[in-house]
Amino acid sequence: MTRRKQLGKCPVCGESLDVTRLSCPNCETIIEGRFETCRFCQLPLEQREFVETFIKCRGNIKEVERELGISYPTVRNRLDNVIQALGYPVEAVEDEEAITSRRRQILEALDRGEISPDDALKALKRQK
């Protein structure tokens, strides 16, 4: 018997589906009722596959990049989409490149003598 992937959303209206019947393929026991599906099961297939890859890579974004052949910003975007789909807020996280650029500007200002070492240290600490 071919097993299909469980649907998480109704194909007609888009609402969450309830599981109403469970069966054991070994002993053929059947249980009927209204069962909640897990939140991950309600994600679209593409997001479930992303989560599976993310877990397989132990949350290492560089590994996820390599595995899926996508860029760091794309991995972050997909992760943020999954977090939102699970009902959690996504805080704006500043891009690493922007932080690195600002740190470089602080060090260059220090090198030119425009700011003191103490001011540079304080500014760098605020970048964390």
Q: Are residues 80 and 105 in the same domain?
A: no
The per-residue pLDDT for 128 is 62
Q: Are residues 45 and 74 in the same domain?
A: yes
Does 4 fall in a domain? Answer: no
Does 119 fall in a domain? Answer: yes
Q: Are residues 52 and 72 in the same domain?
A: yes
Q: Chain centroid to CA 31: how far? A: 34
Q: How far is Cα 110 from Cα 117, in angstroms, rounded to an integer? A: 7
Into how many domains does the chain fold? Answer: 2
For the whole model, what pTM was predicted? 0.58
DSSP 4: P
Q: Are residues 73 and 100 in the same domain?
A: no
> Contact 71/65 with Cβ under 8 angstroms?
yes
Q: Are residues 56 and 79 in the same domain?
A: yes
Torsion angle of the four alpha carbons 91, 48, 36, 25, in this order, in degrees rounded to the nearest 10: -160
DSSP string covering 63-75: HHHHHHT--HHHH
Q: Are residues 50 and 73 in the same domain?
A: yes
Containing structural domain, residue 75:
41-85
Tell me the CA end-to-end span of the chain in Å, nearest whole number: 54
The per-residue pLDDT for 28 is 93
* Tens of each residue's pLDDT in the chain, 128 residues: 677 777 777 889 988 788 889 899 899 999 999 988 788 888 888 999 999 999 999 999 999 999 999 988 899 899 999 999 999 988 776 667 677 778 889 999 999 999 999 988 888 888 76
Q: Are residues 78 and 114 in the same domain?
A: no
